Amino acid sequence: MTNRGLLVVLSGPSGAGKGTIVKALLERRPQIRLSISATTRAPRQGETDGKEYYFISREKFSQMAEEGKMLETAEYCGNFYGTPAAPIEEWTSQGNDVILEIEVQGGANVKKKRPDSVGIFILPPSREELERRLRTRGTESDDVIRERLAAADRELKEVEHYDYVVVNDTVENAVEKICSILQAEKCKTARNAELLERMQRHD
């Protein structure tokens, strides 16, 4: 089977449990890497360059974007954020799967540049459960929760652009499903063209 790693785009509404799933995936499968975004904002206290983010200047960010070295970019609160392509290419060529946890607009942009990427959309068991999870956090006002629920409704309209849907009823079940997806993807005929070509040689 192919030794090349997969680029996995993981999206879903706030409260679906993406971060918890990613953490569990990283613990379960050491060969998985988490993509790190680049940003032009200043590091916050306790943040380290190359860990939480790659902290770069606006000039360098613009240059990388113009040279096609970013898989996707976005502007938020006056700062730029983006996904550098080079680390992902390095990790996947080494056989590591790379998880890119990103919102749906960025996910669509990645799919355009990397049609070989695997899109997985994380859903809560129900809208009621999503609201319950958001309220259980106890960190956001009713207005913010309403905004997040409205954003979730918009994001759900983009599910058709993803390859798989995984319902996060429990983290263990969700992680099991994602691991199965990754294994199946690596067995796809299209990802094993080189192996098939070798097998078909008769000289």
**pLDDT tens for residues 123-173?**
999 888 888 888 887 777 888 888 888 888 888 888 888 999 999 999 999
Q: What was the pLDDT predicted at 202? A: 61
Convert the pLDDT of each residue in 103-113 to its tens digit.
888 888 899 88
Q: Is 41 left (phi over 0), alpha (psi -120 to 50) or beta?
A: beta
Query: In which domain, by residue range, is 61 found?
Result: 7-200
Strand partners, 80: 75
- Looking at the predicted structure, is the pLDDT value of residue 40 above 60? yes
Q: Is residue 151 part of a domain?
A: yes
Q: Is residue 52 part of a domain?
A: yes
Share of the chain above pLDDT 90, in %: 54
Residues 69 and 66: their CA atoms lie apart, in Å, by 8
Q: CB neighbours (10 Å) of residue 51?
A: 10
pLDDT, mean of residues 46-50: 89
- Report the CATH number at residue 103: 3.40.50.300
- Check if the beta carbon of residue 125 is closer than 8 Å to that of residue 74: no
Helix axis angle, 127-137 to 142-156, nearest 10° = 140
Q: Is residue 21 part of a domain?
A: yes
Q: Is residue 196 part of a domain?
A: yes
What is the 8-class DSSP label of residue 49?
B
Q: Is residue 11 part of a domain?
A: yes
Q: Is residue 2 part of a domain?
A: no
Convert the pLDDT of each residue in 55-99 to its tens digit.
999 999 999 999 999 999 988 778 899 999 999 999 999 999 999
Q: Is residue 1 part of a domain?
A: no
Give the count of domains, the chain: 1
Q: Tokens 């960025």 identify what position?
A: 106
